[in-house]
Structure 1
Amino acid sequence: MSKLEKYCLKHTLTDPAKASYFGVSFNHHDPQNNIVFAVVGGRNIIIARFDDNKVALSILQTYVDENEGENYYCCAWSIDPNVGAPLLAVAGATGIIKILNTSVGSAIKALTGHGGEVNEIKFHPRDPSLLFSASKDFSIRLWNLKTMQPVVVFGGDRGHREPVLSIDVHLTGDFLVSSGMDNAVKIWTLCTPIIKNTIESSYNSRSSPSHHCQKKKNCCSSHGTTPFPVIVHYPIFSTAQLHNNFVDCVRWYGDLLMSRCAADAKIVLWKPDVELMAFDKSTVTSVVVGGPAVPSKIQSNFDIICEMEFEHCDIWFLRFGISYDYRMLATGNQAGQIYIWDFQDIPHYIDYYIEKKKAEYSGTKKEKATKKKGSTSVANKKTSDKTDTLVSGSSSHVSESADIKKPIILESLSCESIIRQVDFSKDRQWIVAVCDDASIWCWKDVGNKAIGNDAIDGNSINH
């Protein structure tokens, strides 16, 4: 990583006792202006941008929600596909998702339906009108902003058993990952005919679900018009064995995953043992996707590739950030520090993992071919306590190269608050962190000189 300024910018609310900041998100949809970001917390929404020439922070817009019971936890950017206007989605304690058009400075839509707090929201990477939301009501919802329809609900029989804390959408837009207070991580496919048909139908209908279903006898068919929302009970992957506490942040890294659990100062990069098929030949036509035979097909095995450790973290609802180009990983802690890892070495670990799996597969095939009745396969034995671990029926293989190099540590002499979330600008020139004391801390990349592993002190500038 190139060198960062040895000072940072700070912005604090006039009365910080009234709010904590929980969410931060850069707007990556505007190619001309990738240094605009949003911060949310309490009843407050702040839109800000950086001035590269002055190395200064400018507050563009501020909003205060009229509902005194609101406490915003998350925000996400999108764009109006018709006029190109920037859209910001915000949500939190009331469970109401609000959509702001920041070009006119007002809320234009509100999505209601969740039965509890909304902890995280994510837009579909290929369709800016589709929004996913994770809630305290144990479910994830997919919304269509064009028609204000709830399209799909992920939850129920094999869904989460506690509040859902984090979600992320695969870059292809074909898979969704979720995690929650039940210690579980689940992967859901968006590729079944019924889901694809429902999403398509949601653009063409403004009728109420019940009215629409009464008029069309084949409304539950993948060839007809589907009632909204479709209920998806069955993920394609589920494990509660990787983490032993609330899983409060999960992110895709290609086909791999990164996750962290409460009170654990460690981010895990791992491979779910499931085939991510973009095309599903399923003939399921019920509005309840899946059936009695499906749970036996849910995969639960995983392989740990490497772990990124940091310090001073025994809390939950702390979310890490990955840069737009997937080069950098950053997380805050409760001591006001930011840990940053450079992923330029990650392909080495992935290559190691692939070769290791090939060797295991080859060894297993050979052993099966020469195995005699009553003998024990070498592939079923632990070859090393340090590299292989069996956990409650789910295998977790830790690579011998699973110790990634030490992180860069950023800290300010005056920031001692809990850092709840970190995000990168699209070009990785800026890093923004939001804190429990209603402060925003920003660091700027100013050169090409490689930085060492020593901590960098920051002298705050009040704005």
Structure 2
Amino acid sequence: MAKYEPKYALGCEPVVGSLTSSKKNEYKVTNRLQEGKRPIYAILFNFIDSNYFNVFATAGGNRVTVYQCLEGGIIALLQSYVDEDVSEDSKDESFYTVSWASDTDGTPLVVAGGLNGIIRIMDIGREKIHKSFIGHGDSINEVRTQPLKPSLIVSASKDESVRLWNVHTGICILIFAGAGGHRNEVLSVDFHPSDMYRIASCGMDNTVKIWSMKEFWPYVEKSFTWTDLPSKFPTKYVQFPVFIASVHTNYVDCNRWLGDFILSKSVDNEIVLWEPKMKEQTPGEGTADILQKYPAPECDIWFIKFSCDFCYNSIAIGNREGKIFVWEAQSSPPALIARLSHAQSKAVIRQTALSFDGSTILCGCEDGTIWRWDADTTS
């Protein structure tokens, strides 16, 4: 196993005073909300706009909801969007994923997708649907935003493709699919934090694929100035990834970049940190050097997604018993910061959300609850 030397992402240094020891009881429950009857599959803080760092969105059932974290554990409801085609009592799930984005003028947007394969873009300032993107042939499992160009989003779908969109013009710029693409549902996708050309995707074919947009970047730039109908844009297919990794032997349902390294998880009760080592002469080939693993007990079912704070100092993941494990991301060997549990938290945690500095942890649960944990500054 290669030695892991921590490399800080996004130019961040470790947050002074952040929780990096292995003491217990560093976080305490400060709120619990019952959002509805349906599972909450996605929960995410807004890291796009510093004015809204304490604002988060959830997706589940037939609704997308926006909240604000206030002092004293208070969670304030700001807005809610309901898919009126699906009732609250229906067994169908409209939304599986949510992300934050912004228009070119800085307008904050919430992006959501799910069962019907349509991506909804919601204008938070005007409290209305901004755009709807139709193109995927099946449900959407994850949407992510380009942190350096937050008008660009990427979507991962059950139709075995990944698509790059421009929320300003409504254009589908690139489709990552074809001869070298995924051979089953794509479950997760992520933009590289500093290299605008690269994304990583993973799915039910047990692989993680790294794609490059460098060759197609002129089309990305063209998408911002396109004035004709979006349907007339020359959307391009990216058929071959630059790297394919088989780090896991089962579904890979979450992957995130950590600098040039990748964090990914399957149903093996752990998150794996690995380094892709590509062969420049033979695109698509190379080796995956596993650096270290972050255990996550009782995390052996799929569609459980982990989260990181803005500077990637901490990783938080829930499990099927309602517990949360918080790991220090950039230490070797990994240090367990906290193991969080509560007598009333028994449902599967589908996704966690770490706040900008990691001092607040949220989780969206199978029973429709939102839990808020805050750093205990009194101990």
Q: TM-score, normalised by structure 2?
A: 0.88
Which runs of structure 2 are paired with 1:42-53 in the superposition (5 Å)? 42-52=61-71
Gaps of 5+ in 2: 1-18, 87-91
SS in 2 for 1:32: helix
- 2:99 aligned partner: 76
Structure 1 residue 158 corresponds to structure 2 residue 180 = yes
Structure 1 residue 324 corresponds to structure 2 residue 310 = yes
Shift, 1:408, TM fit: 1.8
Match of 1:437 among 367, 370, 375: 367
Shift, 1:61, TM fit: 1.4
Match of 2:117 among 76, 90, 95: 95
Distance in 1 (CA, whole Å) between partners of 2:347 and 2:104 is 39
Q: Are the structure 2 counterparts of residues 4 and 49 from structure 1 closer, same or farther at C-alpha, using a change threshold of 3 Å?
A: farther
Q: Percent identity?
A: 34
- 1:287 aligned partner: none
Distance in 2 (CA, whole Å) between partners of 1:70 and 1:436 is 12
Shift, 1:344, TM fit: 4.6
Shift, 1:115, TM fit: 0.2
Q: Residue type of the partner of 1:168?
A: D
Shift, 1:228, TM fit: 2.1
**Structure whose CA Rg is larger:** 1
Distance in 1 (CA, whole Å) between partners of 2:29 and 2:306 is 22
Mapped contact 2:48–2:147 kept (Cα < 8 A): no
Q: Are the structure 2 counterparts of residues 132 and 210 from structure 1 closer, same or farther at C-alpha, using a change threshold of 3 Å?
A: closer
- CA deviations over 1:359-398 (Å, ceiling 9, x no partner): xxxxxxxxxxxxxxxxxxxxxxxxxxxxxxxxxxxxxxxx
- 1:399 aligned partner: none
Distance in 2 (CA, whole Å) between partners of 1:301 and 1:205 is 40
Which runs of structure 2 are paired with 1:321-400 in the superposition (5 Å)? 321-346=307-332
Which runs of structure 2 are paired with 1:9-408 in the superposition (5 Å)? 9-13=31-35, 15-16=36-37, 19-52=38-71, 54-68=72-86, 70-82=93-105, 84-172=106-194, 173-192=196-215, 195-207=216-228, 228-240=234-246, 242-261=247-266, 263-274=267-278, 296-346=282-332, 404-408=334-338
Mapped contact 2:27–2:340 kept (Cα < 8 A): no
Q: Are the structure 2 counterparts of residues 151 and 11 from structure 1 closer, same or farther at C-alpha, using a change threshold of 3 Å?
A: same
Shift, 1:132, TM fit: 0.5
Distance in 2 (CA, whole Å) between partners of 1:148 and 1:253 is 29
Q: Are the structure 2 counterparts of residues 197 and 49 from structure 1 closer, same or farther at C-alpha, using a change threshold of 3 Å?
A: same
Shift, 1:310, TM fit: 2.0
Mapped contact 1:149–1:228 kept (Cα < 8 A): no
Distance in 2 (CA, whole Å) between partners of 1:130 and 1:275 is 28
Q: Are the structure 2 counterparts of residues 7 and 96 from structure 1 closer, same or farther at C-alpha, using a change threshold of 3 Å?
A: same
SS in 1 for 2:28: coil
Q: Residue type of the partner of 1:267?
A: I
Shift, 1:419, TM fit: 0.2
Q: Residue type of the partner of 1:430?
A: T
Distance in 2 (CA, whole Å) between partners of 1:204 and 1:410 is 48
- CA deviations over 1:275-299 (Å, ceiling 9, x no partner): 79xxxxxxxxxxxxxxxxx9x5322
Q: Residue type of the partner of 1:146?
A: H
Mapped contact 2:143–2:156 kept (Cα < 8 A): yes
Shift, 1:311, TM fit: 1.0
Shift, 1:407, TM fit: 4.9
SS in 2 for 1:196: helix
Q: Are the structure 2 counterparts of residues 94 and 209 from structure 1 closer, same or farther at C-alpha, using a change threshold of 3 Å?
A: closer
Q: Are the structure 2 counterparts of residues 270 and 5 from structure 1 closer, same or farther at C-alpha, using a change threshold of 3 Å?
A: closer
- 1:454 aligned partner: none
Gaps of 5+ in 1: 212-226, 277-293, 347-402, 450-463
Distance in 2 (CA, whole Å) between partners of 1:110 and 1:33 is 23
Mapped contact 2:28–2:376 kept (Cα < 8 A): no
Distance in 1 (CA, whole Å) between partners of 2:134 and 2:231 is 17
Distance in 2 (CA, whole Å) between partners of 1:6 and 1:150 is 43
Distance in 2 (CA, whole Å) between partners of 1:199 and 1:142 is 9
Q: TM-score, normalised by structure 1?
A: 0.72
Q: Are the structure 2 counterparts of residues 81 and 209 from structure 1 closer, same or farther at C-alpha, using a change threshold of 3 Å?
A: closer
Q: Residue type of the partner of 1:431?
A: I
Shift, 1:189, TM fit: 0.8
Distance in 1 (CA, whole Å) between partners of 2:70 and 2:231 is 52
Distance in 2 (CA, whole Å) between partners of 1:201 and 1:315 is 41
Shift, 1:208, TM fit: 5.2
- CA deviations over 1:114-156 (Å, ceiling 9, x no partner): 0001000111121121110000010000011222111000010
The structure 1 segments of at least 4 consecutive aligned residues displaced by more than 6 Å after TM superposition are none
SS in 1 for 2:331: helix
Q: What is the total number of aligned residue pairs between the two structures?
A: 351
Mapped contact 1:209–1:228 kept (Cα < 8 A): no
Distance in 2 (CA, whole Å) between partners of 1:78 and 1:210 is 22
Mapped contact 2:60–2:93 kept (Cα < 8 A): no
- 1:378 aligned partner: none
Q: Residue type of the partner of 1:188?
A: W
Deviates more, 1:97-106 or 1:27-36: 27-36
Distance in 1 (CA, whole Å) between partners of 2:316 and 2:153 is 25
